[in-house]
Amino acid sequence: MNVTDVEKTTVDCTDHLELCGGIREHVQAIVVAEDRDYSWATVVECLQRPDNGAATKRIIYRRPARLRSPARETFLRSFMSECPLLDPIRSEQGSYDSEYHLRINVDWERLDSMES
């Protein structure tokens, strides 16, 4: 049996938020993981794997300070016209972020209060 590390698991969950309770649960998981031995370098490695486009957009949108590196700029340049929802279990209504090519369909004030 293969068991993944917490970084790969959070990237996988970011790609399929509908399977892990949505963005709210994901934000809580990241906050808990960051209080432990969470490696953003490992997250970047996971994001560089194929088929992590939506996860990459969601993570660097929400945590840009954690990815201040050439990798972040490379990710931004690689974004295509696909426009996933930030939280796929919520309404499709929301603003469009052209830098990240994401539909921002969550209330950040509520999520920010969870992180502090």
Q: What's the whole-number mean pLDDT along residues 7-13?
A: 90
Q: What is the pTM of this model?
A: 0.66
How many angstroms separate the CA atoms of 16 and 25, rounded?
Answer: 12
User: What is the per-residue pLDDT for 55?
Assistant: 84
Which segment, 27-41, 49-63, 71-85, 98-112, is predicted with the most confidence on average? 27-41
Place of tokens 């808990």: 32
User: What is the per-residue pLDDT for 116?
Assistant: 60
* Structural domain for 44, as ranges: 6-115
Q: Classify residue 67: in a domain, yes or no.
A: yes
Give the count of domains, the chain: 1
Whether the pLDDT of residue 3 is over 70: the answer is no
Q: Classify residue 71: in a domain, yes or no.
A: yes
Q: What is the pLDDT of residues 37-53, one digit of tens each?
A: 888 889 888 888 877 77
96 beta partners:
103
Q: Are strands 95-97 and 102-104 parallel, antiparallel or unpaired?
A: antiparallel
Whether the pLDDT of residue 93 is over 70: the answer is yes
Q: Classify residue 60: in a domain, yes or no.
A: yes
